[in-house]
């Protein structure tokens, strides 16, 4: 059975990528299972989707714990712990990262036990594409890497899944998927099917067990206030707003009032500070600042310490 995980952010189309790939497997005669996994719907937050494909009926359920192939929509997700990209990887796992950084560098950085392939999105997507095509690139690359999906199967698979979106969307996605498929030909078939899992292989999910409340309360109670501040939504950010204090006129209210996330604090001397642990990078502050004292930079992947978990 092939066990494949797609990691991306809400809005990048990982659910669609999984749909497209499983359709292609289906057209090649496979039994398939595909499902997205996300919390409440939102853009920018890490999500994943997964596909199982087998010649036999699939009885396995739940999120994939022994991935044969992992596809990553952008490299900022790698070191985002809540994305869980590197969860349960092993020496058989093939990891494809959409990144300008070569795969060998990633393998070294992450001390990754399996194979890593770097694929720059710029290499497969036409510049100026009007729609996010990283999903199609994930699908095309996955189809190329598993080695059991023919190139000509991609077109009917995309067509069947994307019909309602119209011809130009299908054409852009197909072009990207085929480029990614072709780019993977040197590695075609490097992803091997994993064997059946036995009960001994079961790994409990990585969550905290919380005891039941007293039955008179019969509902979970949070005793502390504003606990949401423990969640680092700053990891969603792909762009970073920066304040040029030489231009900030200390108006004391515009950026901090309009920031929907309360992520801009103002000192008593009226100097604003952006809390990068929580700023989601919406850039409203940049848009509303009267003296245009806020500018933006692309978020760079932070250096990585230690290896794969």
Partner 1 sequence: MSEGTIKSMKNLPQEHILGEGTSLCAGCGGLGALHQIYDLLGEKTVIVNAAGCMTSLAIYPYTPFRGSWLYTAMASAASGAQGIRDALDVLIAQGRLPTEDDLTVIALAGDGSSYGMGLSATSAAIERNLDFLYICYDNEGYGNTGQQFSAATPWGARTTTSRGGHHGKKKDLFAIWAAHHPVYAATVIGAEPLDLARKVEKAIRLRGPRLILAMAPCPTGWGYDPQETVEIGRLAVRCGIWPLKEYEEGRLTHTRIPQPRIPVEEYLQKQSRFRHLFKPERNAEAIAHIQAEVDRYWSNVA
Instruction: Give the per-residue contact string, 32-51, with partner 1 (x = CB under 8 A; - = no).
Output: -------xxxxxxx------
Residue 222 touches partner 1, criterion: CB under 8 A: yes
CB–CB of 131/174 below 8 Å?
Answer: no
209 Cβ contact partners less than 8 Å away, ≥ 6 residues apart: none
CB–CB of 76/299 below 8 Å?
Answer: yes
The count of C-alpha atoms lying within 13 angstroms of the C-alpha of 305, restricted to the half-sphere facing its C-beta, is: 0
Secondary structure of residue 294 in the 3-state scheme: strand
Angle between helices 167-183 and 134-146 (to 10 degrees): 40
Residues of span 163-182 touching partner 1 by CB under 8 A = 164
Q: Which stretch binds partner 1 (CB under 8 A): 137-145, 170-178, 186-194, 224-232?
A: 224-232
Nearest distance in Å: CB 287, partner 1 = 4
Residues of span 264-293 touching partner 1 by CB under 8 A = 264-266, 275, 277-278, 280-284, 286-288
Instruction: Give the per-residue contact string, 135-164, with partner 1 (x = CB under 8 A; - = no).
Output: -----------------------------x
**Cβ neighbour number for residue 277 with a 10 Å cutoff:** 13
Nearest distance in Å: CB 84, partner 1 = 16
* Helices and strands in the chain, H and E counts: 8, 10
Residue 131 touches partner 1, criterion: CB under 8 A: no
Secondary structure of residue 54 in the 3-state scheme: strand
Which residue of 232, 291, 295, 304 would you call a contact of partner 1, by CB under 8 A?
232
192 Cβ contact partners less than 8 Å away, ≥ 6 residues apart: 68, 92
Residues of span 2-21 touching partner 1 by CB under 8 A = 11
Separation of alpha carbons 285 and 292, rounded Å: 9
Residue 220 touches partner 1, criterion: CB under 8 A: yes
Residues of span 73-102 touching partner 1 by CB under 8 A = none
Residues forming the site for partner 1 (CB under 8 A): 11, 39-45, 164, 210, 220, 222, 225-233, 236-237, 251-253, 256-266, 275, 277-278, 280-284, 286-288
């Amino acid at each position: 059975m092939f066990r494949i995980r797609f990691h991306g952010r809400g809005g990048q189309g990982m659910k669609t990528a999984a749909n497209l790939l499983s359709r292609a497997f289906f057209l090649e005669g496979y039994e398939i299972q595909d499902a997205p996994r996300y919390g409440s719907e939102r853009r920018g937050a890490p999500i994943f989707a997964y596909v199982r494909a087998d010649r036999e009926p699939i009885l396995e359920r739940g999120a994939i714990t022994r991935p044969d192939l992992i596809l990553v929509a952008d490299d900022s997700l790698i070191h985002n712990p809540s994305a869980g990209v590197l969860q349960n990887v092993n020496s058989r796992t093939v990891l494809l990262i959409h990144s300008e950084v070569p795969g060998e560098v990633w393998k070294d950085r992450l001390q990754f036990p399996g194979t890593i392939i770097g694929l720059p999105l710029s290499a497969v997507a036409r510049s100026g594409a009007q729609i996010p095509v990283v999903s199609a690139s994930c699908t095309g690359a996955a189809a190329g890497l598993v080695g059991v999906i023919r190139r000509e199967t991609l077109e009917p698979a995309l067509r069947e899944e994307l019909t309602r979106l119209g011809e130009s969307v299908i054409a852009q996605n197909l072009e990207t998927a085929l480029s990614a498929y072709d780019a993977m030909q040197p590695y075609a078939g490097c992803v091997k099917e994993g064997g059946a899992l036995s009960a001994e292989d079961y790994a409990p999910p990585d969550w905290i067990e919380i005891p039941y409340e007293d039955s008179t309360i019969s509902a979970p109670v949070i005793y502390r206030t504003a606990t949401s501040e423990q969640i680092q939504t700053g990891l969603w950010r792909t762009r970073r707003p920066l304040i040029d204090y030489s231009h900030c006129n200390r108006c004391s209210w515009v950026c901090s009032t309009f920031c929907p996330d309360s992520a801009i604090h103002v000192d008593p001397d009226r100097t604003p500070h952006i809390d990068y642990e929580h700023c989601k990078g919406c850039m409203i502050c940049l848009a509303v600042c009267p003296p245009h004292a806020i500018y933006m930079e692309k978020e760079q992947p932070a250096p990585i310490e230690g290896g794969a978990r």
